[in-house]
Amino acid sequence: MNNSCIDKGTSKCDEWNKVVDEHKSFSDIVTSFAKKTLSIADFPPSNIQLQEGQDNKIRILDVACGMGEVVLVAQELCCPKKFHFIATDFSEEMIRQVGNCLKKKSINNIETAVMDAANMSTLCSDSFDYVICQFAIDHFYSPQESVNEMTRLLKPNGTCVIATWKYTDVMTLIEQAADLTVGSDWRENSEGIATSHAHRFADESKLIQIANSAGLRNVNVSGVSMKFNVGCLEKSYPVISRNPIADQILSRLDEDGREKFRLNFLKVSQDKIDSNGNLHLEIHTNIMRATKF
């Protein structure tokens, strides 16, 4: 597949293209959650039943795949001859990085494509056994349209799994630092990737509602939490500051403002630092599993 980025405006793609390094730095955290997400998805299935006329493969779609953590973990859990994966993201750079990883590891049962989650028209309806989207719908500008698309692509009785942020120390610390730096008015005037998006599905009822509206049934939400030591705060900050949300704020500040934001971030992070100067972060998530009828 070789689809162009079709999100509304390429600037949003650019925001994610330039934070690949951040994704690499936190890849271990995302991979840990990917294992939980796949477990809730009951993947790989214990009883594989392929319909007559199929190509004898279970098909899995990873929507907004980032660095490909979900599909990379999933393919390690199953027999490559029985499964085929497609990983999509609207960031060309993310997909390029995934492709490089697949080539390096000689993995040939994962296909990649650049496309917007709200418009995956090049993929056939009722063609996937699993559709998985981890930590991306929070940032979608059209979450309902995206979940509608995921539902369209699922086969009858197919499984949809969506993981969302419930509470993350990183996002909260960024918000607090921004409040101290420029005041709270930035929230109302924010454009691009707004921080409010990061926790927009903290209330699981909103996730259930959007799933039901898309036609999914048997909707269940599990809360999954983990704690991570991300290392020295001084060394972690440059990575955190490349987060699209932090970058959105920092791009509006002059050099003095950016330094003030950095100092404020260090200030609000103090109760997350251990005696060795390492930053410890808590991440709480909602992981939804649902079925298409």
- Which pLDDT tens digit goes with each residue over 87-114? 999 989 889 999 999 999 999 999 999 9
**Which class for 279: exposed (0-12), middle (13-18), buried (19 or more C-beta within 10 A)?**
buried
- Could you give the CA distance from residue 72 to residue 23 in angstroms, rounded to a whole number? 15
Tokens matching residue 100: 């490089």
pLDDT of residue 190 exceeding 80: no
Asked if the structure places residue 243 within a domain, the reply is no
Alpha helices in the chain (DSSP H): 10-17, 20-25, 27-40, 69-76, 92-105, 143-153, 169-182, 185-189, 195-198, 204-213, 233-240, 244-250, 255-268
Cis check: omega of the bond before 80, within 30 degrees of 0: no
The CATH number of the domain where 46 resides is what?
Answer: 3.40.50.150
Kind of pairing, strands 154-168 and 216-232?
unpaired
pLDDT digits (tens, 9 = 90+) for 147-184: 999 999 999 999 999 999 888 888 889 989 999 998 87
Q: What is the mean pLDDT of the chain?
A: 85
CB within 8 Å of 202: residues ≥ 6 apart: 164, 165, 166, 167, 286
Q: 245, 139 in Cβ contact below 8 A? A: no
Structural domain harbouring 39: 10-168+196-229+283-292
Predicted local confidence at residue 257, as pLDDT: 95
Is 242 within a domain? no
From the number of C-beta atoms within 10 Å of its C-beta (0-12, 13-18, 19+), residue 280 rates as middle
Residue 51 forms part of a structural domain: yes
- pLDDT at position 76 over 60: yes
pLDDT digits (tens, 9 = 90+) for 209-264: 999 999 999 999 999 999 999 888 888 888 788 776 787 788 889 999 999 999 99
More confident residue, 86 or 239: 86
- Report how many domains make up the chain: 1
What letter represents residue 5's amino acid? C
Kindly give the pairing relationship between strand 83-89 and strand 110-114. parallel
- Asked if 253 contacts 120 with a C-beta cutoff of 8 angstroms, the reply is no
Confidence at residue 5, expressed as pLDDT on a 0 to 100 scale: 34
Look at residue 149 and tell me if it is in a domain.
yes
Choose the weakest-confidence range: 70-84, 150-164, 185-199, 266-280. 185-199
| Residue 293 and residue 250 in contact, taking contact as beta carbons nearer than 8 Å | no
With a CB cutoff of 8 Å and minimum separation 6, the contacts of 225 are 282, 283, 284, 285
**Amino acid identity, position 26:** F
Q: Is the residue at 38 inside a domain?
A: yes
pLDDT exceeds 50 at position 193: no
Residue 22 identity (one-letter amino acid): E
Q: Are 122 and 167 in contact (CB under 8 A)?
A: no
Could you tell me which of 120, 114, 119, 48 has the C-alpha nearest to residue 84? Answer: 48
Q: Is residue 161 part of a domain?
A: yes
Whether residue 270 is contained in a domain is answered as: no
3 pLDDT higher than 60: no
Q: Is 36 inside a domain boundary?
A: yes
